[in-house]
Structure formats: structure tokens, C-alpha cells
Amino acid sequence: METIKKHYFSDLGVMVGRSMRHIFRSMDTIITVTIMPIAFMLLFVYVFGGAIQTGTDNYVNYLLPGILLIAIASGTAYTSYRLFIDVQRGIFERFHSMPIARSTMLWGHVLSSLVSNALSVIVIIGVALLMGFRSSAGILPWLAVIGILALFTLALTWIAAIAGLSAKSVDGASAFSYPLIFLPFISSAFVPTDSMPTVVRVFAENQPVTAIVEAIRALLTGQPVGNDIWTALAWCFGIMIVAYFFAMRVYKKRI
């Protein structure tokens, strides 16, 4: 046990490297994750953008935060899929027979999700720049945006871990992401909530995506963030802690 604790970070590095190699060997994973959000961005900016009133002339600036959240929600589905495959192939049992820290197997998937989603976000921001996205934010606001996106990724990845460890089929492992991908459409990500019917508006204004989108949008445009950033952080931390607790329970039952 003492040896395992001593080599925890080296074990973790091996597990992260293993997961990243799987991702880079199947580049269709990153390509698929980025193509759908980019397609949404092109569709809304160049087809629907002229008909949507957001109070700004640069619709891609308004749209980008929601597109990034959709990309992350889509990307975490692959974490769930890879966990499911490891469970079905008995990979966990093989690693458990070795003198390594058991939690590193799960954390390897989680941290590789953080890296792969970061790559997708960078690609999407690059496309947004070509489409006219501009930001007046300085270094600190950009660091705040990166922090919020990282927390959001971790929160959804732990939800993905629950699905991947407990699913009975491949479809079940990735199905959890569908409502998460749809959630930004019922928020202020694409249109202001003022234009929505009362019942829909109440839901949109009080769900986590709206607070996160509003905080990121304000940071990128140099506007006052207000309480949105604290609400966004509370949602991210709250979801992450609860999902982590249940993911570890499911994981311990598996091992």
C-alpha cells in the first residue's frame, strides 16, 4: 500500500497517457465532437442570425459560449463510451491485479476528457475567429473563462463516469449526453430569454446553462459579470461534487 501511494502520480500519468493514446488513435472522436458544434454555429450565424434579435450586431460573439458548452457535453459522451468498453472487456479487473492505485484508472479517463475537450474548444474558438468573433477581454477574464469551462467539463465528465460504469449497452452509455446537449437550446445561449413563453422562460432563467453562458459572455465582451459568475461556479461545483460522489460509489461496487 505504501508503494502504491508513493507512485500514485506516476500511475496516474500512465493511465492518462493510455486514454490519450486511444483518443489520438481514433481522431474521429475529436473531429465528431467539433464538427457538430461548428455546424450549429455556421447554421445559426449565417442562416438564422439575421432573424434573431440579441441586441448585438455580432451574433457569433453572443452564440459562442453556448456552442462551447454543447461541444463539451458532446465530448464527455466519449468518456462514458470508453469507460463502458473498459468495463466490458475486463480491463479494470486486469489493472486491479497489478500494484497500482485503483482510483487512477478512473481519474485517467476524467483527466483525458479534460484535455480532449480543451482541444475541441480551441478548434471551435479558432473557427469562431474566422467567422468574426472578437473579444476585448484581458488575460484575467480569459483565465476565468478557462476555469469555468474546465469546471463544467469536470462536472459533466463525472456524470459520464456514472453512465459509463453502470450502463448495460453502448447506447445506454452515451444516451446521458442527449439532454445535456439539448439543454443550451432552452437557455439564453441562442436567444434572449425575454422572447420565450413564461413557463419556458422561468425554466431557462433558472437552469445552470444560462448562468454559465451569461458569465462567459460577459467575461469575453468585457461587460460586468455581476452574480452570474458566482451562480455559474455554484452550479459547476455542486454538480461536480454530487456526480463525483455517486461515480465513486458505482466505481467501488464495480471493483
SS3 192: coil
* Chain-centroid distance, C-alpha 26: 19
pLDDT at 70: 92
- Which three-class secondary structure string do you get for 134-176? CCCCCHHHHHHHHHHHHHHHHHHHHHHHHHHHHCCCHHHHHHC
Average pLDDT score over residue span 22-30: 70
Distance CA 25, CA 154 (A): 23
Q: 196-244 pLDDT, tens per residue?
A: 898 999 999 999 999 999 999 999 988 888 888 999 999 999 999 999 9
Distance CA 2, CA 225 (A): 47
Distance CA 216, CA 142 (A): 9
CA Rg, the chain, in Å?
19
Contact in structure between 135 and 221 (CB atoms under 8 Å)? yes
Average pLDDT score over residue span 125-153: 92
SS3 107: helix
Q: How far from 162 is each of 85, 107, 168, 172, CA to CA, in Å?
A: 14, 13, 12, 11
pLDDT at 71 over 50: yes
- Give the domain ranges of the chain: 2-254
User: Residue 90 — very low, low, confident or very high, per pLDDT cuts 50/70/90?
Assistant: confident
Q: Which residue has the higher pLDDT, 236 or 96?
A: 236
pLDDT at 109: 83
